[in-house]
Amino acid sequence: MTTAENSSPHRETSLMSKLTRVLKQIGGVPFVYPLFALFLVIVWIERPVMLKPMFFFTILRQAVPLILVAVGQSLCMRVRSIDLSSTGVIVGAVYILTGGWIEAPTLVLCLLAIGLGLFVGAVNAWFIAIRRSSAVLVTLATAMIVSGSVLILSGIRQPDRAPADLVEFARLRFEGMPVIALLTIVLVILFAIALRMSVLGRVMNAIGTNPKAAWTSGLPYVRTVFTVHMLSGAFASLAAIVLIASLGKGSVTLGADLALFSLAAVVLGGVSFGISRGGVIGPALAGAMLTFLFNFLTAYDVAQPARLIVVGLVIIVAAIVISMRENKAH
């Protein structure tokens, strides 16, 4: 009888500890997951037509550029850096594809566009990791230099139509789903798995937690900063390729707001300076959610200024929730 009485409190304690662990895990879920679920419920009630496959997949394809830029931005922020050069990279990559200066197959043009992103990322990383310059100032400066160069060249030769085979590729669908969107989902998932299992992912987490300790302990700080910034540039170039393929025509203003909205997606996705709770999937999902939100507000004829206000309020709420979670954790 005594043994049974003693075992009962132990069972209750064990049950409470399990419940506490579950609640902590739920509390650690990035803010974007419950927010996106709630948003989809609202869309289902108010605008169910947006969830029909044709509309849903079309919006998903529109989200691809923001998703790609947000993934690249999240890598930089995980090592306490930032990349504001994506606007310039996109403008430059678009001009490589549509400027008409280089007569080459589409694949070569795409590789050159990605090469531009890698080069800009390397320049950013050199100033940030080697010269210890401000990431904000450096990446903003490179964006302005690349954008200004494209504006000068566009005064001589305006951006023209996108390569025809690239446009045709953007129209391909698999079971009703745009192939570009499907490939992006696969890319993001595989990249998230690879980063989680690789040494790079662990080093990024260590640098994000304590950069000075990571540096003094001999971790490859400089190499990691170079890697994340070059990857961020490559993702921005991929976003430019998708933009061109989808729109069919170049412009020196394409992707002008992607750098700003990518920061919003990263924060909503549970990633901030040195915090990687959302990983890669969180910012990608947040990028998709923001695109759906823009389309939802457009369906109600909400003007652009009001849309920006709504998005800003969502970001503020997300930032408050993340801050409260981090304060509670510490």
User: pLDDT by residue (tens digit) across 272-329?
Assistant: 776 777 789 999 999 999 999 989 988 888 887 887 787 778 777 766 766 666 665 5
| Mean pLDDT confidence for 257-263 | 86
Residue 247: is its pLDDT beyond 60? Answer: yes
**How far, CA to CA in Å, does 142 sit from each of 20, 57, 135, 147?**
48, 34, 11, 8
User: In the prediction, which pLDDT does 22 show?
Assistant: 44
Correct CATH for 33-39+60-329 of 2.20.28, 1.10.3470, 1.10.150, 1.10.10: 1.10.3470
Checking if the pLDDT of 129 tops 70, the result is yes
Distance CA 224, CA 201 (A): 9
pLDDT at 321: 67
- Domain map of the chain by residue range? 33-39+60-329
Sequence-ordered list of residues with C-beta below 8 angstroms from that of 23, at least 6 positions apart, any chain: none
Q: What is the pLDDT of residue 96?
A: 95
**Any residues with CB less than 8 A from the CB of 311 and at least 6 apart, and which?**
261, 264, 290, 293, 294
**CA separation for the pair 247, 329 (Å, rounded):** 45
